[in-house]
């Protein structure tokens, strides 16, 4: 468990953040943020005031990374890049999250390292993390300013012969009574644009490998835009399947075999394949995963029960 609760004995009255700075080698800002999050517990209750004085028995909850052996594919003094496996969160959702890419990031680069962008849990591929706070601010700002170019690969159902562009606004849904889509196309939503280019068609699978270039960064943008043009991503448990299938997936009631035939693949067939950006120098980083070979996880077309 990455978040651990550890008891301490504070021998004399001390400001909580100063004690944390000494024990964990944190900066003042990091220590004060830990206090503000309620991670210091006195007599069974969290304290939140960053100037609070503590003495005697206290408990501190903190993140202790546990690696599962995922190594970065690129490292320099400012940032590191991983090929994230499908099914792994980039950051813990709650304090009970057993594992995320943050475990690997901080195992390799310490407490000040952090992820700089989000990738869906089911999406595999390039994950960029900073090694210090200055790099974190710069890289997060670069993603916000859209100066980092991202390219994805997706195996989709059906044949796509020509490049195309989807330019449809997206809004977040809050009614899941008819389907489990988190977002939908809507006129008054946030502007979204994605460029698509076919790379390969597999006749036996009736599936096309697409290169996807999102020019905006909306939630589930690629997934929704492909669903909108009736080429849903194979293995997508939310877009292109029935309400029942989506519900069973979200409730973790779906077996691997059901996932294969009812969504078309064992996993979401979407992969973050390339990043192009500047940080002191110009970088073009490509995933080391051969996503063409990953099509072995796609269900044969005659056995599929989805999108009918």
Q: Taking Cα atoms as reference points, which of 236, 230, 226, 148 lies closest to residue 192?
A: 226
Tokens encoding 280: 């002191």
Domain ranges of the chain: 3-63, 74-144, 149-303
Which tens digit of pLDDT belongs to each residue from 154-209? 999 999 999 999 999 999 998 888 888 989 999 999 999 999 999 999 999 999 99
Distance, CA of 72 to CA of 189 (rounded, Å): 37
Which tens digit of pLDDT belongs to each residue from 106-123? 999 988 899 999 999 999
DSSP-H helix ranges across the chain = 16-24, 28-36, 101-109, 133-144, 221-228, 243-250, 256-263
Active site members: 120
CATH no., domain 149-303: 3.30.2350.10
C-alpha distance across the termini of the chain, in Å: 41
Q: What would be the CATH architecture of the domain defined by 74-144? A: 2-Layer Sandwich (3.30)
Which tens digit of pLDDT belongs to each residue from 274-293? 999 999 999 999 999 999 99
CATH of the domain spanning 3-63, picked from 3.10.290.10, 3.40.50.1820, 1.10.287.110, 3.30.70.20: 3.10.290.10
Is residue 54's pLDDT more than 50? yes
């Amino acid at each position: 468990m990455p978040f651990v609760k550890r008891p301490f004995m504070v021998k004399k009255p001390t400001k909580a953040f100063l004690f944390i700075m000494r024990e964990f080698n944190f900066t003042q800002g990091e220590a004060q943020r830990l206090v503000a999050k309620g991670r210091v517990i006195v007599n069974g209750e969290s304290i939140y005031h960053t100037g609070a004085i503590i003495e005697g028995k206290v408990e501190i909850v903190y993140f202790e990374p546990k690696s599962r052996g995922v190594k970065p594919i690129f490292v320099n003094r400012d940032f590191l890049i991983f090929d994230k496996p499908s099914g792994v969160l980039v950051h813990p959702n709650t304090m009970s999250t057993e594992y995320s890419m943050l475990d690997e990031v901080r195992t390799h680069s310490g407490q000040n390292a952090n992820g700089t962008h989000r990738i869906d849990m089911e999406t595999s591929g390039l994950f960029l993390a900073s090694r210090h706070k200055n790099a974190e601010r710069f890289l997060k700002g670069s993603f916000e300013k859209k100066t980092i170019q991202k390219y994805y690969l997706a195996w989709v159902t059906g044949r796509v012969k020509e490049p195309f562009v989807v330019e449809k606004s997206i809004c977040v849904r809050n009614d899941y009574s008819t389907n489990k889509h988190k977002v939908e196309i809507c006129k008054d939503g946030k502007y979204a644009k994605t460029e698509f280019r076919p790379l390969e068609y597999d006749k036996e699978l009736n599936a096309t490998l697409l290169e996807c270039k999102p020019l905006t960064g909306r939630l589930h943008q690629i997934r929704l835009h492909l669903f909108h043009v009736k080429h849903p991503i194979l293995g997508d448990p939310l877009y292109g399947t029935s309400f029942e299938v989506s519900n069973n997936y979200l409730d973790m009631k779906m077996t691997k075999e059901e996932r294969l035939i009812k969504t078309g693949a064992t996993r979401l067939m979407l992969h973050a394949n390339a990043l192009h950006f500047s940080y002191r120098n110009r970088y073009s980083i490509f995933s080391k995963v051969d996503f063409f070979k990953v099509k072995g996880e796609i269900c044969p077309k005659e056995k599929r029960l989805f999108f009918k």
